[in-house]
Amino acid sequence: MRTDFLRRSVVLVGGALVLAGCSASAEPQAEPPAAPPSASSPAFRFAVPAEFDGLPRTTTTKWTKVAQNATRSLKRNMLRPLDTLTAVYVDTSDPAEGVELSAVAGEVFDPADQLRLITGNLVGDWQDAEIEGGVGTCSVNREERPLIRTECYWAEPRSVGRVSLWGLTDRRKDFPAIQRQVSRGTISG
């Protein structure tokens, strides 16, 4: 009777292994190749250079307040944020040009939906902007003449973010390169 029980158990376990796609062979199975590190890896961090676009980084609250608020807003829209970036680059003695960066790293399952969620309530003439591996949109505000503010948002599989540029020209054409530099971050380990 005990032999019957053992035989049935072996057959049931073997059948379960076959149904699950497992093999009972003693040969070692090849492991799938390791995925490259991404924002979903705890080793991903945004790079925060001392200079960006030829401008020095400032940490003065007067200049960073808007970028900090944008980062907090982006973070609220991210399911599992892993890292954040808030940085402002401006020559405070001559603030005619500047760059604000706000970004959040994490898993973005549907970049187009995420971008719609982030920009859904924004006012302005928003136009699609091509970025590598994701989606972007930009708007230009000329209300502060002679300064022109170019504001862009992106969503891609491992980050969402905002770039705000001000100066004497429309800077939409610079957005893809800036977004690429920001979303690369640094990967250690």
Q: Please report the DSSP string for 71-94 in residue order.
A: HHHHHHT-SS--EEEEEEEE-TTS
How far is CA 93 from each of CA 55, 56, 96, 97, 103, rounded to the nearest angstrom?
A: 11, 11, 9, 11, 26
Query: pLDDT confidence of 67, banded at 50, 70, 90?
Result: very high
pLDDT at 40 over 60: no
Query: pLDDT confidence of 186, banded at 50, 70, 90?
Result: low
- 115: how many CB neighbours lie within 10 A of its CB? 22
- Tell me which of 1 and 44 has the higher pLDDT: 44
What's the confidence (pLDDT) of residue 9? 43
- 147: how many CB neighbours lie within 10 A of its CB? 16
pTM exceeds 0.75, yes or no:
no
pLDDT at 27 over 50: no
Query: pLDDT confidence of 31, banded at 50, 70, 90?
Result: very low
As a whole number, the mean pLDDT across the chain is: 79
Distance in angstroms (rounded) separating the CA atoms of residues 186 and 176: 18
pLDDT at 72 over 50: yes
Distance in angstroms (rounded) separating the CA atoms of residues 147 and 117: 28
Percent of the chain with pLDDT over 70: 75
What's the confidence (pLDDT) of residue 181? 87
